[in-house]
Amino acid sequence: MCGENGCEFTWDVGLSVLALSAALFGLVVGIKGFSQGKSCCDGWGSQAATVLSNVKGLAGLFFVLVPPFCALCAWCVAQSFFHLGRFQVKALECFMTSRGLRILQITANLLFFLCLGLSQLLLLWVFGTSFLGHLCQNHMLVSPAQMVAVGISNSPRDMLENVFSPTKDSSTFLMLGLREAMQGMSITNFCETMPYADAYLFDIWMGTFLLMISQSIMAVALRGEKQRVAVHEELEDDYGTMAGEAVQGLLKNRVAVSGIATAVAGPAVGGLLGAGMQAYSTEQSGRSVGFFG
Pair (109, 179) in one structural domain: yes
Asked if residue 230 belongs to a domain, the reply is: yes
Is the pTM higher than 0.85? The answer reads no
Cα–Cα dist 149/125, whole Å: 16
Cα–Cα distance for residue pair 268/130, rounded to 1 Å: 97
Instruction: Give yes or no: residues 223 and 281 share one domain.
Output: no
- Does residue 63 sit in the same domain as residue 188? yes
Split into its structural domains, the chain has a count of: 2
Q: How many CA atoms lie within 13 A of 200 on its CB side?
A: 17
Q: Does residue 273 share a domain with residue 210?
A: no
Report mean pLDDT in 10-residue bins for the chain, 293 residues.
47 90 95 78 70 88 95 89 75 83 93 94 86 76 67 56 48 66 70 76 94 95 87 65 52 54 53 55 50 40
- Check residue 292 and give its pLDDT: 40
221: Cβ–Cβ under 8 A, 6 or more apart, which residues?
A: 11, 12, 13, 15, 16, 19, 73, 77
Domain-located, residue 246: no
135 with 269, same domain?
A: no
Q: Classify residue 37 as left (phi > 0), alpha (psi -120 to 50) or beta.
A: left
Whole-angstrom distance, CA of residue 198 vs CA of residue 125: 8
> Is residue 230 located within the same domain as residue 267?
no
Co-location of 94 and 11 in the same domain: yes
The answer to whether residues 216 and 265 belong to one domain is: no
The total of other beta-carbon atoms located within 10 Å of residue 174's CB is: 13
Cα separation, 38 vs 196, whole angstroms: 9
Within a domain: residue 59?
A: yes
Spatial distance between the Cα atoms of 77 and 8, rounded to a whole number of angstroms:
11
- Which of 213, 240, 267 delimits the end of a domain? 240
Are 83 and 226 found together in one domain? yes
Same-domain status, 84 and 167: yes
Residue range of the domain that includes 261: 253-292
**Same domain as 260, residue 150:** no
Residues 277 and 208 in one domain: no
CA–CA dist 266, 262 (Å, integer): 4
SS3 89: coil
